[in-house]
Structure 1
Amino acid sequence: MYCQVCGEKQSEGANFCRKCGTPQTEDNSKEIMVKKTNSDEDSLSLFVGDNSDFYFEKWGILHGDHGEVRKTSWNWASFLVGFQWLGYRKMYKAIFVILLIWLIIDGLLFILNAYHTSIDILIGLTTYLILGFKGNYLYYSHALRKINKLKKGSFHAEDIKKSGGRNIWGIFASFGLFFLYVVISSLLFSSTTSPFATEQVAFGYDIKNGEIADPYQYFETEEEIYYSFYFPDSKGGSYKVVIEKVNDDSAEIYDSWESEVPPDWEGLYDTFITPSELGEYELKIIKENEVIAKGTFYVL
Structure 2
Amino acid sequence: MQCINCGQENSRDAQVCANCHQSLTSVQAQTPPPLTPVNIAKEAQNVPHRAPSDADTADTLLAAFVGEKYDSYYRDKWFEDGEPHLLLDKKDMQRPKFNLAGVLLGISWLSYRKMYKIAFFVMLGTSLLDTVLMYVLGEQTYNAISNSLFLGVGIVITGLFGNYFYLNHSIQHTKKIMASNRDLNIAREKLAQAGGTSWLGAIGFTILLVIMSVLISYFLGPEWYWAGL
TM-score under structure 2 length normalisation: 0.60
Q: Which residue matches 2:106?
A: 82
Deviations 1:222-271 (A, max 9, x none): xxxxxxxxxxxxxxxxxxxxxxxxxxxxxxxxxxxxxxxxxxxxxxxxxx
Residue type of the alignment partner of 1:159: K
Is 2:81 the partner of 1:57?
A: no
Query: Is 1:49–1:161's contact at 8 Å kept on the other side of the alignment?
Result: yes
Aligned residues: 161
Is 2:170 the partner of 1:143?
A: yes
**CA distance change for structure 1 residues 36 and 170 in 2, over 3 Å: closer, same or farther?**
farther
Query: Is 2:111–2:206's contact at 8 Å kept on the other side of the alignment?
Result: yes
For residues 169 and 133 of structure 1, the distance between their equivalents in structure 2, rounded to whole angstroms, comes to 25
Q: Which has the higher helix share?
A: 2
Query: Is 1:43–1:157's contact at 8 Å kept on the other side of the alignment?
Result: yes
For residues 131 and 83 of structure 2, the distance between their equivalents in structure 1, rounded to whole angstroms, comes to 48
What is the percentage of aligned positions where both structures have the same residue? 27
Query: Is 1:82–1:128's contact at 8 Å kept on the other side of the alignment?
Result: yes
Cα distance, 1:40 vs structure 2: 1.8
Q: Which has the higher strand share?
A: 1
Is 2:171 the partner of 1:171?
A: no
Deviations 1:51-81 (A, max 9, x none): 1011111113458565965832332111111
Cα distance, 1:49 vs structure 2: 0.5
Residue type of the alignment partner of 1:91: M
Q: Which residue matches 1:159?
A: 190
For residues 84 and 63 of structure 2, the distance between their equivalents in structure 1, rounded to whole angstroms, comes to 14
- Which structure 1 residue ranges, 5 or more long, are not aligned? 1-34, 195-199, 201-300
Cα distance, 1:120 vs structure 2: 4.2
Residue type of the alignment partner of 2:114: K
Deviations 1:93-119 (A, max 9, x none): 111111221232234234446351304
Which of 125, 128, 132 matches 2:152? Answer: 125
Aligned Cα RMSD in Å? 2.9
TM-score under structure 1 length normalisation: 0.47
Is 2:69 the partner of 1:46?
A: no
- Which structure 2 residue ranges, 5 or more long, are not aligned? 1-51
For residues 128 and 207 of structure 2, the distance between their equivalents in structure 1, rounded to whole angstroms, comes to 20
Cα distance, 1:193 vs structure 2: 8.9
Q: Which residue matches 1:103?
A: 127
Residue type of the alignment partner of 2:211: F
**CA distance change for structure 1 residues 179 and 132 in 2, over 3 Å: closer, same or farther?**
same
Query: Is 2:131–2:221's contact at 8 Å kept on the other side of the alignment?
Result: yes
Query: Is 1:84–1:175's contact at 8 Å kept on the other side of the alignment?
Result: no
Query: Is 1:61–1:69's contact at 8 Å kept on the other side of the alignment?
Result: no
Q: Looking at CA atoms only, which structure, 1 or 2, has the larger radius of gyration? A: 2
SS of residue matched to 2:152: helix
Residue type of the alignment partner of 2:74: Y
Query: Is 1:47–1:143's contact at 8 Å kept on the other side of the alignment?
Result: yes
For residues 137 and 82 of structure 2, the distance between their equivalents in structure 1, rounded to whole angstroms, comes to 54
For residues 193 and 134 of structure 1, the distance between their equivalents in structure 2, rounded to whole angstroms, comes to 31
Cα distance, 1:129 vs structure 2: 3.1
Q: Which residue matches 2:223?
A: 191
Query: Is 1:84–1:171's contact at 8 Å kept on the other side of the alignment?
Result: yes
